[in-house]
Amino acid sequence: MYQRILIPVDDSDTSRQALIEATRFCCDQHGRTRLVHVIDLAQFTWGGAEFVDVGELQTTLRETGRKVLESARALLAENGVETETVLLEIWGGSTATTLIEAARDWPADIIVMGSHGWTGLDHLLLGSVAEGVIRHAPVPVLIFPIKRQK
């Protein structure tokens, strides 16, 4: 039985579908659940930033991140799963590495997340947070593959 379940979420349909699947897993495990969302505050600090209010954009990222977490928390709560939420901020770098560090620091017993299942050129261009987590996670990773609509 897993006592500490870490679930990374974002605002994608893939994440929401994976969260619905993860709800059943969390109910079965009866462990502590932590939802995490990563925001990159550095994404607006270069290339054209002189034309935007970077501080306002970063504030918006934080607010949006909190909304993503609250929405995910509410979905789990509807199904009887109590959770805590954590907004993780990075300044450039890898989302996968940040999630791995979060799992190590908490410490999680398992990471539960979705994957788009990108392949070929899509995977090369878009990268894969799930793949990065799987390759380097200090704990087991449960992936819910989500099929894309064609």
- Domain residue extents for the chain: 4-145
Which pLDDT does position 150 carry in this prediction? 53
Question: What superfamily does domain 4-145 belong to in CATH?
Answer: HUPs (3.40.50.620)
Which pLDDT does position 116 carry in this prediction? 64
Which pLDDT does position 125 carry in this prediction? 41
Distance between CA atoms of residues 83 and 81, nearest Å: 6
In 41-147, DSSP assigns E strands to: 83-90, 110-115, 141-145
Q: pTM surpassing 0.75?
A: yes
Which pLDDT does position 17 carry in this prediction? 86
Which pLDDT does position 88 carry in this prediction? 98
Other C-beta atoms lying within 10 Å of the C-beta of residue 80:
9
pLDDT average per 10 residues of sequence, the chain (150 residues): 93 87 89 94 64 80 96 94 96 93 97 74 58 92 74
The position carrying tokens 């947070």 is: 129
